[in-house]
Amino acid sequence: MKFFIDTANLEDIKEAQALGVLDGVTTNPSLMAKEGITGKDNILKHYLAICNIVDGDVSAEVISTDFDGMIREGEELAALHEQIVVKLPMIADGIKACKYFSDKGIRTNVTLVFSAGQALLAAKAGATYVSPFLGRLDDISTDGMHLISEIREIYDNYAFNTQILSASIRHTMHVVNCAKVGSDVMTGPLSSIKGLLKHPLTDIGLNQFIEDAKKMQL
């Protein structure tokens, strides 16, 4: 399973990259705004800065919600850097744009997916990635992980090449469960990745080793 980090914070991206397990980055307008990145030129420069840190795919989201606007923005984003994947919303014009880009050889990530039917449409349109938001489903007392399992079954049934990019990851167990059900990618905050490092027995064992090593040096 690939590990993406869902942020526009360069320091978090650098820290995840330094771990040696980072495969890519996902961003959106909300994450950009959170970092105080505003204005078209600044946003494009920020995408380039992210591409210069990581080796893998960087999802950059269009702001337009109409077909022509998505095409215009998406082509500009795709031309920015070879690592850019154009992120499109799961709406009718988004699916049309996905098909357009797929036919042009431009990679896409269809986002804001909350049902297996939506994921099926994205795959039919040739999406590179589909982003089901499992955390947001959990927030409304719906089993987000079940959606990931449904999409995995459908994609396997028909050998779709679209990768399942599990988004809206809230915590470390989301990461583990995504790996168990066969998600191709997870994207979440740095804390969800670093949380995989931790176990109390590891801490206890390490402390014991350190104490024993000190005794050997006496």
Give the active site residues.
Answer: 87
Comparing CA positions, the residue from 175, 197, 201 lying closest to residue 186 is 175
Query: What are the phi and psi torsion angles at 9 (to 5°)?
Result: -80, 115
Q: What share of the chain is helix, strand, coil (3-state, %, to 5)?
A: 55, 20, 25
List the structure tokens of 56: 């893998």
The alpha carbon dihedral of 132, 135, 139, 141 has a sign of positive
Cα–Cα distance for residue pair 87/77, rounded to 1 Å: 10
Comparing CA positions, the residue from 8, 5, 34, 30 lying closest to residue 18 is 5
80 burial via Cβ count (<10 Å: 0-12, 13-18, 19+): middle
User: If you ran DSSP here, which 8-state letter would residue 21 be given?
Assistant: -
- Strand, coil or helix: what is 20? coil
How far does Cα 170 stand from its chain's mean position?
A: 12
Q: Are 99 and 73 contacting, i.e. CB atoms less than 8 angstroms apart?
A: no
